[in-house]
Amino acid sequence: MFLLALGLLVGGALGALVAQRSARWATALGVGGAVTGCVAGLIPASRILLGEPSQSLRMTWQVPYGAFFVQIDALSAFFLLPMFGLSALAAVYGAEYMVAHRGERSPAASWFFFDLLVASMAMVVVARNAVLFLVAWEMMALASFFLVTYEDDEESVRQAGWTYLVATHLGTAWLLVLFILLGRGTGSLDFDRFGAASGGGLLFILAVVGFGTKAGFMPFHVWLPEAHPAAPSHVSAVMSGVMIKTGIYGLLRTLTFLGPLPWWAGWLLVAVGVTSGVFGVLLALAQSDLKRLLAYSSVENIGIIALGLGLGLVGMHVGSPALAVLGFGGGLLHVVNHAVFKGLLFLGAGAVLHSARTRTIEELGGLLGRMPWTGIAFLTGAVAVAGLPPLNGFASEFLIYLGAFEGATSLGNAGAVPALVVIAGLAMIGGLAAACFTKAFGVAFLGEPRSEHAAHAREVGPAMRLPMQLLAAACVVIGVASPALVGALAPVLTEVTGLPSASVQAQVMQTAGPLGSVTGCALGLLALVVVVLSLRGRLLGGRPVGEVVTWDCGYLQPSPRMQYTASSFAQPLTDLFGLLLGTRQRLSRPEGFFPEAASLSTETPDICRERVYRPIFSGLGRGLFAFRWLQHGRVQLYILYIALTLLALLLWKLGEA
């Protein structure tokens, strides 16, 4: 069934390419292949998570160092579920979203690479041979590169594609070294031949850098806030929701090869998690571009996942099954939750861009009345990403909190200190995320429109609304049912931790009680709010109710310019963390007794890009410029260079012999 799913995806991709002269046929074949392929892929993944044994296929092939070996086990199935689910919904959404580009460029190439991206992501998580894994990894990177640069007539899009291409290949270089070191003693690159490798600390660092670049760990995240805003919104949803999770999958899969790790491995992931989480949400808070804000929020959520994994590694090192299960369990559950609410938020941002023709928050406002379905869906995603109960974002963060409290109260310094760091980091991230998405929703959807485009915005069509509604419903269902759903994590946790299945099951089920209590309290509070609102409606029924414009603040002639802007809303927090963010302000103060104009705008550059990567790449560029004399356009001299290089390599080889 899984191979059938891959066949449908590849068939849809090729069909879209063949039908490129007809936009309708290309869209129908591309979307049809994506949806049917994803539905077919969900079947084997669901069966294995429900208890069926792993499925595998091993065939000999002409490629050296192993066989064509694929396998779906519990860990692979866990990542395939959100991968196929979100991709199918994004394809349906994209069918209407891409209509706006008809006449400008053919959608055939976009659907070809979209289907290829989904197929390559699925192959990454089932590959059990390093050569096959890296081929799928590169296909995934190239397909997403062409999707990011779909609107390549804009300079910013070409620059984003270039940054992404460089970053992803630098990450792959680290993975290449990792797999060579893992397989050097066995002569095979099949995963089941790796065994427990020596030098686990070095291999762990290679995995963190290589997979962390794809996942968006800070400071390897710089491609992410460039690529996500440049891509079409349904592609951004897939890239942010599930593609970056292949980095988390790769890191978890590598942990199963390495055996016992040194004590600092858990500390390292906790440090990476706190750094990514805090800086990610601070940079998100400072953005005025809605999709860039969501991209930095993904860096924040990857940090939360890293916090959970780090806590789990600490638990493994100190021999605490409870800490290991809760840490890894919280991180894994956040993988699914982030896919759901971040996919929803990117689709919501795409609906805003599709209707209001801008993603600059400063130019929006008042969209809730004009786009009520989109507004409610975006609000649901915003509450979920802020980690508020009873939605799904809360459930995964609650597991990590439980693990951290377990470590802080029952372990010595080796477990208690990182646990306290996790508690402090999560609390800070949660507060800042709530402020960030209050700004995003409040400025974009409430108040009055700040531009003509926002004033004339209209609700999007059913093909774009339905995926958002389903994802919003998933945020609620997963959150409310989380006490019952956490049991499904047991097979995955058994595979990752190597602990006995019964022990993992017992630890997981112990979390259902406190999770259910908090969720129940939140549902009770919501029910009380509904009762109060119903009572208010009955009391006001039949009475005259006046309406005035919002934000009038006592002025006789209020205008939308009197509202809080995104910059002014975030200013107190960006000023508070000014030393870390380096926010630049442009302030035009009101002057005179009857001032006519005043303005405040802010710009927050990425600190890693500005202070780390830009100086390094500028220095490399200046250094390589000194060798420009080698490039002069004479083919015969280039052939001479090749011949001299071959001669040097031959002499070197003869010297070794």
Give residue-wise pLDDT tens across range 63-75. 887 888 999 999 9
Instruction: Answer yes or no: is pLDDT of 188 > 90.
Output: no
pTM, to two decimals: 0.90
Mean pLDDT score, 632-647: 87
211 versus 3: the higher-pLDDT residue is 211
The per-residue pLDDT for 148 is 92
Confidence of residue 518 (pLDDT cuts 50, 70, 90): confident
Residues 6+ apart with CB under 8 A from 378: 344, 345, 348, 349, 352, 441, 444, 445
Q: What is the largest CA-CA distance in the chain?
A: 99
Instruction: Answer yes or no: is pLDDT of 556 > 90.
Output: no
Lookup: tokens for 446? 């409430």
The per-residue pLDDT for 85 is 94
152 versus 146: the higher-pLDDT residue is 146
Looking at mean pLDDT, say which of 95-109, 251-265, 316-330, 466-480 comes out highest: 466-480
Instruction: Answer yes or no: is pLDDT of 185 > 80.
Output: no
Average pLDDT score, the chain: 87
Tell me the torsion sign for CA atoms 305, 168, 4, 37. positive
Instruction: Answer yes or no: is pLDDT of 559 > 80.
Output: no
Segment among 197-201, 331-335, 437-441 with least mean pLDDT: 197-201
pLDDT digits (tens, 9 = 90+) for 345-368: 999 999 999 898 888 888 888 889
The per-residue pLDDT for 612 is 84
pLDDT digits (tens, 9 = 90+) for 256-266: 888 788 888 88
Segment among 94-103, 202-211, 243-252 with least mean pLDDT: 94-103
Q: State how far the alpha carbon of 9 is from the alpha carbons of 1, 58, 139, 416, in Å.
A: 12, 22, 14, 48
Confidence of residue 550 (pLDDT cuts 50, 70, 90): low
Lookup: tokens for 113? 């690479």
Rg (CA), the chain: 26
pLDDT digits (tens, 9 = 90+) for 523-549: 888 889 889 988 888 888 777 777 666
pLDDT digits (tens, 9 = 90+) for 198-231: 668 889 999 999 999 999 998 888 888 888 888 9
